[in-house]
A and B are shown apart, each in its own frame.
Chain A
Amino acid sequence: MPIYLYIDRGTFVHRLHPTVKVFSLFVMFWSVYWVDNPIALLVPIGLIMLWIAQLTDSWPNFYRLRWLFVILIFTTTLMWMVFYQRGTPIFTLTLFHFGAHTVAIKVTRLSIKFGLGRGIKLAELLAASVLFLSTTKIEEFTYGLQRMRVPYRVSFAISLSFRLVPLFIDSAVTIVDAQRLRGYDFNQGGPLERVRRYVPVVIPVFMGALRKANNMAMALEARGFGFSHEPTTFIEYPVTVADVIAFAFLIGLGTLYFMLYWTGLGGIGPLK
């Protein structure tokens, strides 16, 4: 099983300067943050993400995470549809009476719109991260962060953690198998009990993580990590015309979304 999301292709997105890539992640988060309207979330930024996914061949990663996307969109939309109680109801569902009070759920046009918007928003935040990791190597990530004035040790630690998560997931899967073979049933009891039942997995994963982290720290220092505060970089990242265009485009995109928010166009419409 491949443990990275990085997909090695030679597209112009892959070739962008690491700083531009890190910046693009920031702009995507920024843009999605300002608007709630499903249409504004889909056009243009949703379409841009689809185009990049197609261009960079990132679909296998989206396929791997398909259930996460489905669950995210579905539960978020449903939850907000229920809890967002503004606007004229399309229908009302009475749950129970409590003395003189009636507890009911109103589903309104606005709540549907808002719920859908929230679902898309979260899916897009995830999609932006997947696209970033599909097209950015760990080294580029470190380099990009460094250029944005994040100290080397911090940026290296952040990028390394991306590498470690899949390793821990791998060992967690083995541990779950090992405990199942000793007759352990993870699916007993209520929700709280189920969480508690993961103790026989969490402890070995944690102990393994500590051991691995210790081994890694020793191996890092043994390779000279810490020798210099400003390590050199082997790979050259020249700034190209494509980087300048992409950068200008990202500024434009970020500004557009801020304007959508500013003018109210990115909202879900007047409250009625």
Chain B
Amino acid sequence: MSVQGVTFTYHGADRPALRGVSFAQNAGEMIGVMGASGAGKSTLAKCLNRIVPEFEDGDFHGAIRIAGESLEVLRVCDVAPKVGMVFQDFESQLFSTNVAHEVAFAMEQVGMDRAEMDRRILPALEAVGLRGFEHRDPMSLSGGEKQRLAIASVLALRPSVIVLDEPTTDLDPEGRAEVFELIKRLRGQGLSLIVIEHESEELRAADRIVVLREGEIAADGPPSEVFARTELLTACGVRPPGLGHALELLGIEAQPKSVDQAQDEIVRAYPRLARTAGGKVADSQPQPPSSRGQPFIGIENVSYSYAGGPRVLDSIDLKVEAGEFLAIVGQNGSGKTTLAKHIVGLLQPATGRVTIDGKDRAQMRPAETAREVAYVFQNPDHQIFAATVEEEVAFGPRNFGLPDDEIRRRCDEALEAVGLQNERQSDPFLLSKGERQRLAVASVLVLRPRMLILDEPTTGLDHREQLRMMALVRDLNRSGIAIVIITHTPWLVAEYARRVVLMRKGAKIFDGGVREFFMQDELLRSSSFRAPEITELSRRFGTLALTTDEFVAWVKGRA
């Protein structure tokens, strides 16, 4: 594939989304595309199969060729057999009621005969590890399985290139691992891949990394070269791989591909650490969940099941103190969100009870609960409806009948807290995803709750936005608001939370301090939750660091 001088400006936009983008991909190569939100990654992906400019209105210049053939005069559907495309939103790309038929869908569209379809379906399912699922309903599959099915459906057409646009953003760690494992396998089979992804760790295996900034290519080269330019990456809103960054801070010039390699490099540079390498971490003092006096939230023996289904919560006991910072982790379907919904009163326990500040929540009106505990949904678009940012934030206090000047004061305060004070009159639908997420926080913060529950607060945000969001959450916590985050992201837990609750199949299987949590190898493995690589690396040296800075300081202290 060759991309030459591609420039695209969306209709009505004041600057191009892509500007003079050129690169070439050899057959069998895997290219990782990275960049902040709005850098042009998705636009580029859409250019590769003609969705841009066929679907999106705008001004397109440049040329894209596949095996020498120009795509210029082709429709999106004509490109389908040449360029396969897998999207982030897996729900929107499955159209059938059974897995085999889903794989056949694209082949039917291009008019392939039945015998040929029959020949291709099983190998495609085999390739993505879904052999034996032929008769399952795609909607009954897990997120990772759905995404693998989407890939199988694309594979069946045998395209020259497969483009994956953030294929794992909406998946849990298990699903992510499944999809990246598959990508690795496909690459091994010599398929040409273009993968758009936020997490640099996942792209270390690529042949090349293309970094986009404001629609232009800011870097293009092998991962070892591109990932070494941490300053550039940070400026582009890309999180540099933790291991490489740590080595750089330690003055070691290397881009390790694994924790093993990073360990070797450090031992080579700091021979004195060889003695501690391989040592066991001394058990840190386990921090039992604090239980001084009356907790702010008390969950006592709560069980719950959805109508006719199995138990989603099984005899849960949990206490949350005022001002705590708690992370709830666990695979999809482990009961995290159901538990949170019990706290805010969206669900009533089948058995047991929930108390808020000593009061039985069942006796509290929803409005009363809303002033104590606020809940920020994973998708901010599930609540935004007003014409301006200010009106959106004012919606809550208006529902409580607060006087106008009080509402104004609170809106100012909440918008200031989330850094949207200059967007008061903006249309919420035109804000970026990160801004919309912060708006969602402001619109519950305005009720001055004592606890904030955030469901996956960083999903779909780029690194810069993630840091900004989490800095906000940390500030709120420091101001005395208790925080509960439901998350799949290990570094978020390591860097921000002080206590972790791990859920599995509706049961709480771990409740304790963050350091203690990351030492539970067996529990972590069986829950498909991995410690951040820097934590893993630190443990090789007999210590446990939660952040890069902490590890670097430790190494320098010993050297």
Query: A-side interface residues toward B, CB under 8 Å?
Result: 1-4, 6, 8, 137-139, 160, 163, 167, 171, 174-175, 177-185, 199-201, 203-204, 207-208, 211-212, 215-228, 230-236
Contact = CB atoms under 8 A, between A and B. Distances in A.
Given A178-B382, A182-B396, A227-B77, A236 B97 contact: no
A171 B400 CA distance: 25
Interface residues of B, number: 70
B109 A204 contact: no
Contacts of A225: 77, 109
A100 B54 CA distance: 71
11 contacts: A139-B101, A177-B341, A181-B370, A182-B383, A182-B444, A200-B383, A203-B385, A204-B383, A207-B429, A215-B92, A227-B111
Contact of B374 (A180, A181, A223, A227): A181
A183 B400 CA distance: 6
Contacts of A199: 385
Given A215-B89, A224-B106, A180 B96 contact: no
A175 B382 contact: yes
Q: Which of A181, A218, A228, A236 has the most CB of B within 10 A?
A: A181
Contacts, number: 173
Q: Which of B80, B118, B135, B382 has the most CB of A within 10 A?
A: B382
Contacts of B60: none
A197 to B, nearest CB: 11
Contact of B95 (A163, A183, A228): A163
B51 A183 contact: no
Interface of B: 46, 49, 51, 54-55, 75-78, 80-81, 84-85, 87, 89, 91-93, 95-98, 100-101, 104-114, 117-118, 121, 135, 137, 139-140, 153-154, 157, 306, 341, 344, 346, 366-367, 370-371, 374-375, 377, 379, 381-385, 395-396, 399-400, 429, 443-444, 447
A226 B383 contact: no
B270 to A, nearest CB: 50
Given A178-B382, A183-B447, A219-B92, A236 B374 contact: no
Contacts of B135: 8
Nearest to B81: A224
A234 B117 contact: yes
B157 A204 contact: no
Given A182-B396, A200-B395, A227-B81, 17 more contacts: A2-B140, A174-B377, A181-B370, A182-B399, A185-B367, A200-B383, A207-B384, A218-B55, A219-B87, A222-B80, A223-B105, A224-B110, A225-B77, A227-B80, A227-B110, A231-B110, A234-B118
B51 A224 contact: no
A235 B101 contact: yes
Contact of B346 (A2, A171, A177, A208): A177
Contacts of A208: 381-382
Contacts of B344: 181
A138 B96 contact: yes
Contacts of A230: 111
Contacts of B140: 2
Contacts of A216: 92-93
A29 to B, nearest CB: 23
A137 B104 CA distance: 15
B51 A218 contact: yes
Q: Which of A216, A219, A220 has the most CB of B within 10 A?
A: A219
A208 B383 CA distance: 11
Nearest to A177: B346
Given A6-B97, A183-B400, A227-B77, A175 B109 contact: no
B381 A204 contact: yes
A174 B346 CA distance: 10
A179 B139 CA distance: 27
A231 B77 CA distance: 12
Contact of A231 (B108, B306, B346, B374): B108
B366 A181 contact: yes
A184 B386 CA distance: 14
B111 A2 contact: no
Contacts of A171: 382
Nearest to B429: A207
A4 B97 CA distance: 9
Contacts of A163: 95
Contacts of A137: 97-98
Given A182-B383, A215-B89, A228 B110 contact: yes
Contacts of B114: 232-234, 236
A182 B137 contact: no
B75 A226 contact: yes
A226 B109 contact: yes
Contact of B395 (A184, A224, A226): A184
B77 A232 contact: no
A2 B399 contact: no
A8 B447 contact: no
Nearest to B154: A223
B385 A227 contact: no
Query: Which 10 A-B pairs give the minimum distances between C-beta atoms?
Result: A234-B104, A224-B109, A183-B399, A224-B80, A203-B385, A219-B93, A221-B76, A215-B92, A178-B383, A223-B106
Contacts of B113: 232
Contacts of B154: 223
Contacts of B153: 223
A227 B112 CA distance: 11
A8 B447 CA distance: 48
A236 B95 CA distance: 18
Contacts of B78: 227
Contacts of B110: 224, 227-228, 231
Contacts of A228: 109-111
Given A4-B97, A160-B95, A231-B109, A224 B77 contact: yes
Contacts of B54: 221
Contacts of A231: 108-111
A232 B116 CA distance: 11
Contacts of A222: 49, 51, 76, 80, 84-85, 87, 93
Contacts of B383: 175, 178-179, 182, 200, 204
Q: Which of A180, A183, A218, A226 has the most CB of B within 10 A?
A: A183
B365 to A, nearest CB: 10
Given A178-B383, A208-B381, A234-B104, A221 B55 contact: yes
A182 B367 CA distance: 7
B337 to A, nearest CB: 10
